Amino acid sequence: MTKLKNTPWDALEIGAESNLQRICTLDDFYVFANASGNINPMHLPKHDGDNDGQREAVAPSMWIGSLISAVLGTRLPGPGTLYREQTLRFLQRAHVGDQLTAKVRLTEKAPGRIARFHTWVERDDGTCIAEGEAEVVAPEKEIFFDSVEVPGLTVRTHVHFDRIVEVAEPLPPISTAVVAPEEENALGGALLAAEKTLITPILIGCAEKIKATAEAIGRDLHDCEIIDEPDHSLAAARAVKLVHEGRARAIMKGHLHTDVLLAQVVKKDAGLRTSRRLSHVFVMDIPGLDHPLLVTDAAINIAPDLETKVDITQNAIHLAHALGIDSPKVGILSAVETVNPKIPSTLDAAILSKMAERGQIKGGIVDGPLAMDNAMDVDAARTKGIKSLVAGHAEVLVVPNLEAGNMLAKELTFVAHAEAGGIVIGARCPIILTSRADNDRARLASCAVAALYDAWMHR
């Protein structure tokens, strides 16, 4: 909590100085772009604003100027101050990571509570990057202000998905059987992934509908192989056959029901089964969380028994390895963090933890039961006296059943503004299981996750 106190007009003395320090961050530039409408790519970290081959992330000059406003409004004279005039000359540029100090010095007092200041902004090496003069109306009375009343902001950037795509792009594209891409999002997502060299799509479905969809979104399919099979069940079977033939190394769901696709995947004779149960893993990029979060299983196994949960947990650990998490921290979720025989999921969680401890589940640190709060929040875990390498630091969440997982994933997506991609694993190849509600970023991330998992499998 920060208490602010101003210096009223009568107490101002010529020569008085104040300052404020600030480090330039990516979030500052995004907030400024949203607030001002200035989306000049020179100021946006992901873009090359002047086509020189480098991403710029130059601090907006008026954002630098706003630091002077912060000194005048919070330090000297402080709360109650109103601007009349500000001149600025920008001498140098600032970039992400620079520490800046905005300074003001009172040079003149005039009738009507007019105060004039010399103003300037320096880098931490003393270089002046902006200077000018400010004229304000100083406050008449002493004011105290509690800054905690100002609401906080969450910048909805998805840096983890950006990193996943960047890591996957240099890999050779994986040949992917896209089943029934007969709708704009389904076809567009596959073609976007192809542009990013993540996949080489083989389009299986009604050729007439696929071509009409491509025309509707203004895309050219001359580089894409199209296999004409209007029946969705037969199209899914054809995709599975392509995997057996070695022509495809992944399958991507288009505009068809999930159970129609998976029915062909899980067939005993001609399917893609392995010794492990299939499970779905959501990879979630949540604004404000410093790592991607894996949630499983929210799409395949409705009410998994203990044996199935072992495979669900192991599958998620393997995917975490593919994403570069060497020893993922796995939280087995329940409603409470203590073992209660009346809550079966707490018993399963305790057994899974012990199995990991004994090496029956490998490659991760597994702990449970954990409630959602103490799995994700260090303070919540500390308050409840939980001592664990996982509590407060979970990177993988294993839910008790599909209902809980589906609700959790959708709450994170639609309430916490997460982006969610994901794949089905446990088959002979990754299966990219997209939703009709997925946007291009989510579909692209799912393809990148599949490419990284495919590369990990082959290593």
Structural domain contains residue 107: yes
Across the range 267-276, mean pLDDT stands at 88
Residue 10 burial class via C-beta count within 10 angstroms: exposed 0-12, middle 13-18, buried 19 and up: exposed
What is the number of H-type helices and E-type strands within the chain?
13, 19
φ/ψ of residue 163, rounded to 5: -65, -40
Q: At which of 149, 177, 211 does a domain end?
A: 149
Across the range 207-233, mean pLDDT stands at 92
Question: pTM for this one?
Answer: 0.77
Structural domains counted in the chain: 2
Report yes or no: 120 and 251 within 8 Å, Cβ to Cβ.
no
Report the CATH number at residue 402.
3.40.718.10
Q: What is the per-residue pLDDT for 52?
A: 64
> Would you place residue 55 in the very low, low, confident or very high pLDDT band (cuts 50, 70, 90)?
low
CA distances for 4 relative to 70, 144, 157, angstroms: 12, 6, 31
Structural domain contains residue 372: yes
Q: At which of 88, 121, 149 does a domain end?
A: 149
Report yes or no: 131 and 99 within 8 Å, Cβ to Cβ.
no
Residue 32 reports pLDDT greater than 90: no
> Would you place residue 34 in the very low, low, confident or very high pLDDT band (cuts 50, 70, 90)?
confident
CA distance 446 to 444: 5
Q: In the chain, what is the greatest distance between 2 CA atoms, to the nearest angstrom?
A: 92
Report the CATH number at residue 58.
3.10.129.10
CA distance 306 to 353: 12
Q: Both tokens of residue 211?
A: 């071509």
Structural domain contains residue 436: no
H helices within 257-397, ranges in order?
258-265, 306-322, 344-357, 372-376, 378-383
The answer, yes or no, to whether the previous bond of 297 is cis (omega within 30 of 0) is yes
CA distance 20 to 18: 7
Structural domain contains residue 230: no
Amino acid in position 49: G
Highest mean pLDDT among 93-97, 101-105, 162-166: 101-105
**pLDDT tens-digit readout, 194-212:** 999 999 999 999 999 999 9
Structural domain contains residue 318: yes
Q: What is the per-residue pLDDT for 410?
A: 92
Of the listed ranges 54-58, 292-296, 337-341, 362-366, the one predicted with least confidence:
54-58
> Would you place residue 148 in the very low, low, confident or very high pLDDT band (cuts 50, 70, 90)?
low
Of the listed ranges 20-34, 103-117, 219-233, 306-320, the one predicted with least confidence:
20-34
* Domain coverage including residue 141: 3-149
Of the listed ranges 26-30, 77-81, 370-374, 447-451, the one predicted with least confidence:
26-30
Q: Both tokens of residue 4?
A: 């602010």
Q: What is the per-residue pLDDT for 449?
A: 95
Residue 440 reports pLDDT greater than 80: no
Structural domain contains residue 207: no
The SS3 of residue 371 is: coil
**pLDDT tens-digit readout, 12-27:** 999 999 999 999 888 8
Residue 426 has a CB neighbour count (10 Å cut-off) of: 25
φ/ψ of residue 251, rounded to 5: -125, 140
Across the range 327-354, mean pLDDT stands at 96
What is the percent of the chain where pLDDT is above 70?
A: 95
Residue 147 reports pLDDT greater than 80: no
Of the listed ranges 42-56, 81-95, 222-236, 422-436, the one predicted with least confidence:
42-56
Q: What is the per-residue pLDDT for 324?
A: 94
Structural domain contains residue 94: yes
Q: What is the per-residue pLDDT for 110?
A: 94
Q: At which of 112, 127, 149 does a domain end?
A: 149
Residue 286 reports pLDDT greater than 60: yes
Structural domain contains residue 155: no
> Would you place residue 157 in the very low, low, confident or very high pLDDT band (cuts 50, 70, 90)?
low
Q: What is the per-residue pLDDT for 395?
A: 97
Residue 250 has a CB neighbour count (10 Å cut-off) of: 26
The answer, yes or no, to whether the previous bond of 77 is cis (omega within 30 of 0) is yes
CA distances for 231 relative to 236, 247, 256, 260, angstroms: 9, 21, 10, 11
Residue 222 reports pLDDT greater than 70: yes
Q: What is the per-residue pLDDT for 3?
A: 77
Q: What is the per-residue pLDDT for 429?
A: 94
Q: What is the per-residue pLDDT for 49?
A: 54
> Would you place residue 2 in the very low, low, confident or very high pLDDT band (cuts 50, 70, 90)?
low
Residue 63 has a CB neighbour count (10 Å cut-off) of: 21
Report yes or no: 250 and 224 within 8 Å, Cβ to Cβ.
no
**pLDDT tens-digit readout, 244-255:** 999 999 999 999
Residue 340 burial class via C-beta count within 10 angstroms: exposed 0-12, middle 13-18, buried 19 and up: middle
Q: What is the per-residue pLDDT for 220?
A: 87
CA distances for 329 relative to 338, 375, 389, 398, 419, angstroms: 19, 10, 7, 11, 21
Report yes or no: 284 and 299 within 8 Å, Cβ to Cβ.
no
What's the gap between Cα 160 and its chain centre?
Answer: 5
Amino acid in position 164: I
> Please, what is the average pLDDT of the chain?
91
CA distances for 185 relative to 164, 197, 198, 413, 435, angstroms: 21, 18, 17, 18, 9
Q: What is the per-residue pLDDT for 328?
A: 96
DSSP states of 213-244: HHHHTT---TTSEEEE---HHHHHHHHHHHHH
Residue 258 reports pLDDT greater than 70: yes
